[in-house]
Amino acid sequence: MCRKACGFDSHIPHSLYHFDADSPFIKMTTSPRIAVIIPTFNRVQTLLACLESVYAQSDLSLQAIVVNDGSKDGTSEKVRDAFPQAHIVEGDGNLWWAGAINAGLRKALAADFDYFLLLNDDNLLAPGAVEHLLAYTQDHPGTITGSLVRLKDTDLISDAGVAINWWRAGPYLKDFKQPYYPGKYPAIMPADALAGQGVLLSREHLNRVGLLHDRQFPQYFGDTDFYLRARANGFQVVVNTASAVWNNPPNRPKSPRPVNLKEAITRFIRLYTWPGSPYNLAVNARFWWRYCPKYMLPVTAIYRLLSSLRYFVKKNF
């Protein structure tokens, strides 16, 4: 799961809200209603900055649905104190990213929201980001629209959509850590898929595509699988570069070197078996068998293996 105050003015006029005694949600008097689905795990300060940017979006009926998947840092209590209008769905620590997204989507669908914004807890919405997404999606209902994601406090791009090249082992973030400058991209760019950072879905999208396949792809490739299924159902997938999202990941210290051979072997096995690993063998095999051209499988398997070994060395030594 992709997991500080950002300085935005988070005030929203109280007149936009009224309480419905029969619902845990705060109902909004304007339409359409947009649910913002935010999975989180033990990153409460990062999450609070994300929520501040959500409620700083002006003139929109937004409701944050935070899916707290077993956090131990007081996430739910601190969110309720800072943003009482946000709704919290509690997980048991086993939802992972795709399961958390589905839990939030189910709650939002049951509450009759019109649109669903997927956001990571380490994202910050730029002013007007959701307005740009909504306007384009309403004008182009056959399109799933994502945002241009930039790395906070840099002039670098986090992703300009997801591209797929089976010669380099499948999906990758387009233009990751490449320089950004105004005018670099057209207003709308086609994409093979999107990451779950500032993507707006409609009820029609979900009715035709379904939810994420959280059992097959609990952490990685669940998003790519969803957008490939969407394209197979006739939807286009694009990046709206007018909608900016900043990626604000917390600093993570490098793992200490393994103290002995046994620990190194344990970490190596975990790389290929842990559900939260990008190189989980079962998940990778499932995704590649489903989508990779069969004649390309030997090439991509070798490339993916070498990529996993580089990743292991970089993380542990």
Fold classification of 14-247 is Spore Coat Polysaccharide Biosynthesis Protein SpsA; Chain A (3.90.550)
pTM exceeding 0.85: yes
Q: Which of 46, 47, 20 is nearest to 36 (CA)?
A: 47
Task: Determine contact, residues 129/244, Cβ cutoff 8 Å.
Answer: yes
Q: Where are the domains of the chain?
A: 14-247, 261-316
Rounded mean pLDDT, 283-293: 96
User: Quick one: tokens of 221?
Assistant: 């490739």
Q: Residue 130: phi, psi to the nearest 5?
A: -70, -35
On the question of pLDDT at 92 being above 70, the answer is yes
Instruction: Give the tens place of pLDDT for each residue, 137-191.
Output: 999 999 999 999 999 999 999 999 999 999 887 999 999 999 999 999 999 999 9
On the question of pLDDT at 49 being above 50, the answer is yes
Angle at alpha carbon of residue 46, lines to 41 and 49, rounded to 5°: 130
- What pLDDT is stored for residue 17 in this prediction? 28
